Chains A and B, each alone.
Chain A
Amino acid sequence: MTYKVIGKRVRRVEDPRLLTGGALFVGDVNLPDMLHAAFVRSDYAHAKIISIDTSSAKEIPGVVGVYTAEDMGEAWEPGPPLVSPPPSLEGVTFNSCRQVPLVKDKVKHAGEIIAVVVAESRYIAEDAVEEVYVDYEPLPAVTDLEKCLEPGHTLVHDELDSNLAAHLVQNKGDYEAAKKEADLVIKRKFKLDRGAAAAMENRGIVVDWDQKNQHLMVWDATQSPIPIRNGLAGRLGLRTHQVRVVAPFVGGGFGPKIMMFYAEEMVLPWLTMKLNRPVKWIEDRKENFYATTQEREQVQEVEMALSKEGRILGIRQNIIHDTGAYDPYGLTIPLNTQSHSMGPYDIKNYSSELSVVFTNKIITTPVRGAGRPQGIYIVERMLDIACRELELDSRDVRRLNFIKPDQFPYDHEIIDQAFTNLVFDSGNYQPAYDKAIEKIEYDKFINEDQPRLRAEGKYVGIGVVPFIETTGVGPYEGARVAIEPSGKISAATGVGTQGQSHMTSFAQIIAEQLSVEVEDISLVSGDTAEIHWGTGTFASRGAVVAGNAVLAAASDVRKKVLKLASKILETPEDELELEGGQVRVADIPDKSISLGELAVLANPFRGAVEPGTEPGLESTKYFGPAYGATAFGVHGMILEVDPETMMIKIHKYVTVEDCGTMLNPLVVEGQIHGGVSMGIGNAYYEKLHFDENGQLQNASLADYLIVGATEMPHIEVYHQNTPAPNNKLGTKGVGEAGAIPVPAAFAQALENALPNYDLEITETPLSPNRLFELLYRQED
């Protein structure tokens, strides 16, 4: 390929519209005659509904209707099971309880929808919401992950005989045997609490049923437009061609915008078809805390067996994972936790029991990291604790245990989130780890800086944590690439954008194949009218799965170009070259033809295309990997803590990332920066506080603390490239990487900063208040 643009720091083609206020977000869609919806949500986490009085709400001028589950009649139907495990999986208990559009009998979490108001304006709709009177019979709330499994405990789902949503045991080797060999066995209990994705754009959906064309138009701030289209068609008894779902610019996803179906996504299409008018609902920030899925809540008991040299002989783990009130997302998060609980280490014996429980809290589905941070947190914390007991340098112990380059592909002999064997495709861990140690100047810090600063009364500490990230899972994605008569390229893929720069990095792949400028390529992502098949943007898979589909389609178009050009220029294909939108004969520059002219010739108006050839210079291809690509990284931080005020300042932050081939380093760095900011939130700022009655106590950005510019350190990003062997581009995902190791590195640094407090951290997120309790509990 003469023209190289993959791997260049190309500035984004999507930016001018976003920077001038010209990009379309769902909230910007305003249609003539449009109605506005607002929802009546339960104040109670768990309660029987005795009666709903909508009469006075209906009286309010401007209110078009107020509807409850009863009004939906036949259309009332729970959401689909999104990813429940295949029956083929042995020894798995799974009780599928799916979320409902409007609650019929019993509310199962605060914020669940009881009724919907439709009015001429959002203001009026919210007036009416306050006039809907619901009579509840409050029930005790199920909130404690451990207690909720005790016999006789209140049930979230009365049809089940316990609050157990799922149960599964994964074994590798023989942990009990390994334990007998061990010189040291440590056991700890971990508490990992809830956080919110808190994308700056809340969710939203605008629906418009066209009676005459029998067509449903949907604008949805979703990460998965195609499955939404398919699901809606099914629910509404329509053909897929009767439903078009557009995910325009989406203001951040981070996981929860994958979830389907949200109750609102089930209710609004029903409303527009019933009322024959467009209907709009934009989630407000308070609803976002009550209605949008969350993550990370687990309680774990972990045992680690080691030799006196620090070799990890085995890990035993008992995970209780909170799925919230329903479990549409199956086992994805906890399976990821298991997949990451052995970290980047060669561990022969692993035994993990997983119990997923229902609680009267908001549903949990993947949030940037999706179970991975919990796995990395426990294995890295256990290693730090073990190293203290064995009086070994934790750096040597990590190096000793890393999976070695010649061990790849490394089969972990357990199943991953895709229900296939967990196999690490490739990796080269120690050089990246050593690079991080070098860049953060570990030895200088320990030998010079820390003693000096401590003498000045400053409490500074260092933490360095390696991690893996399973990325690029299937099933598949597709892409369409076409050369237009203008010579410009149009392309489409099903993975929408929530900021991942698809319109640029995918264009780079095409540009390289067809030797055109990135600006000449217009890529549509997230419009079901442009491509029929696909799943969505999640699990750090865009660059891997969609990226390689784009490559396949583009190189196929290149083939078609060369084939046609060789016929027209009467020159063998291998003597042709593409450059600047032209196909030329290698050594005869003026013997050439433009891509545009070729596109016209490929679509004749008279005559016939040759048998066996398709019209147009266009191709649609799909890519589905056998198993994912495993990325690797190391994060290190130096922080200072004031043990009087519990205030923290991170002075230095270093990351080394190995995500294989980088399509656009600028974009990769941006992804890492953002991930780290969420990780710092998960470490010290962001916690959703539920009380024992299932009431969320900080449903606002004033009390749920997203990390701001003043809390963020400057981040140094370094790269290592171990290309993924199982895809042509060699890409591995990086979207979630930044968030994964931060709480573990933070805990290590904090303990290192406060040696004289015998501080052992086994929970995240921490907070000044919690740190105060940990440091001063002895004195109480």
Chain B
Amino acid sequence: MKVEGEHLFNGNQQQVWDLFRDTEVMAAALPGTKKMELVGENTYEAVMNVRVGPVAGEFSGQLVISNEDHPNSYTMTVDGRGKPGFLKGVGDVVLTNQGANQTLMGYTGEVQIGGKLAAVGQRLIDTVAKSIINQAFETLDNALEERGKAEAEGRKADYQQSSEGDYAATVAKDLIKNVLKRKDSEES
């Protein structure tokens, strides 16, 4: 399955780069991450508990960063396995300075999904992937903001692990936006 897209961060390229290379942040960004540690140069070991409504499954695996071109681009390789099946992905991340303290992150990758998930959960996979990515960016935006604040206040940043609840809330916002939009226009 192809995944690609882009996301605009409110921070300069260096800040965004550091953000991605912060284990703690990555742990917070990936939904349901129970554990994430650096086990070797650019190699992380992670345990994630992915939950989509009633569907939940624990994946454990490795995340490797390669082809680093600091602070412009790198390649991320994920290899996770769990009872619902396995997930294998390779993706390229490219950061480009958009000036005015903004950085555009572009990502393209190929994800393989196998096992139960692929065999009988096919109808959901595409949407699940989208949801997880939205969820990750939501968290990363907050993390970036929090970093800024913490720096200014000279304290240690405190990241929020995104929970189903938080995630729900973020999506709810989008939906409500739609509805509000309509309500507004009706009044106008």
Contact = CB atoms under 8 A, between A and B. Distances in A.
Q: A and B bound?
A: yes
Interface of A: 43-45, 110, 130, 138, 286, 289-290, 689, 691, 693, 695-700, 702-703
A57 B122 CA distance: 28
A700 B114 contact: no
Contacts of A697: 118-119, 122
Given A43-B114, A43-B116, 17 more contacts: A43-B85, A43-B115, A44-B114, A138-B88, A290-B119, A691-B1, A693-B114, A695-B112, A695-B118, A695-B119, A696-B118, A697-B118, A699-B119, A699-B120, A700-B119, A702-B120, A703-B122
Nearest to A689: B122
A696 B119 contact: yes
Contacts of A702: 120
B114 A286 contact: no
Contacts of A138: 88
A110 B113 CA distance: 12
Contacts of A289: 119
Q: Chain B binding site: helix, strand, loop or mixed by DSSP?
A: mixed
Contacts of A290: 119
Contacts of A700: 119-120
Interface in B54-85: 83, 85
Contacts of A130: 83
B107 interface: no
13 contacts: A43-B85, A43-B86, A44-B86, A44-B114, A110-B114, A289-B119, A290-B119, A691-B1, A695-B113, A695-B119, A696-B118, A699-B119, A699-B120
Contacts of B114: 43-45, 110, 693, 695
B123 interface: yes
A44 B87 CA distance: 11
A373 B88 CA distance: 38
Interface string B85-117: 110100000000000000000000000111110
Contacts of B1: 691
Contacts of B120: 286, 699-700, 702-703
A-B residue pairs, 10 tightest by C-beta:
A43-B115, A699-B119, A695-B118, A697-B122, A700-B120, A43-B114, A695-B114, A693-B112, A43-B85, A43-B86
A691 B88 contact: no
A700 to B, nearest CB: 5
Nearest to A138: B88
Nearest to A290: B119
B122 A698 contact: yes
Contacts of A110: 114-115
Contacts of B119: 286, 289-290, 695-700
A130 B58 CA distance: 12
B153 to A, nearest CB: 46
A244 to B, nearest CB: 36
A88 to B, nearest CB: 43
B47 to A, nearest CB: 14
A286 B84 CA distance: 14
Nearest to A699: B119
A138 B114 CA distance: 11
Interface in B136-178: none
Nearest to A131: B83
A700 B120 CA distance: 6
Contacts of A43: 85-86, 114-116
Nearest to B86: A43
Nearest to A700: B120
Nearest to A694: B114
A110 B88 CA distance: 15
A615 B118 CA distance: 63
B123 A703 contact: yes
A384 to B, nearest CB: 34
A548 to B, nearest CB: 45
A138 to B, nearest CB: 7
Nearest to A133: B81
Given A43-B86, A130-B83, A691 B123 contact: no
A643 to B, nearest CB: 26
Listed residue (A45, A110, A695) with the most chain B CB atoms within 10 angstroms of its CB: A695
A286 B119 CA distance: 8
A44 B85 CA distance: 9
A130 B114 CA distance: 16
A220 to B, nearest CB: 26
B70 to A, nearest CB: 30
A205 to B, nearest CB: 23
Contacts of B86: 43-44
Contacts of A44: 86, 114
A108 to B, nearest CB: 15
Contacts of A698: 119, 122
Contacts of B123: 703
Contacts of A689: 122
A693 B112 CA distance: 7
A689 B118 CA distance: 11
B29 to A, nearest CB: 26
B120 to A, nearest CB: 5
A110 B86 CA distance: 12
A308 to B, nearest CB: 49
Contacts of B118: 691, 695-697
Contacts of B115: 43, 110
A361 to B, nearest CB: 13
A699 B117 CA distance: 10
B125 to A, nearest CB: 9
A130 to B, nearest CB: 6
Interface in B5-53: none
Nearest to B118: A695
A160 B114 CA distance: 27
Nearest to A111: B119
Nearest to A693: B112
A236 B119 CA distance: 35
A697 B120 CA distance: 7
B185 to A, nearest CB: 30
Nearest to A45: B114
B60 to A, nearest CB: 11
A698 B122 CA distance: 7
A632 to B, nearest CB: 41
A290 B118 CA distance: 12
A695 B113 CA distance: 8
Contacts of B88: 138
Contacts of A691: 1, 112, 118
Listed residue (B83, B85, B114, B123) with the most chain A CB atoms within 10 angstroms of its CB: B114
A113 to B, nearest CB: 15
Contacts of B83: 130
A45 B115 CA distance: 10
Contacts of B112: 691, 693, 695
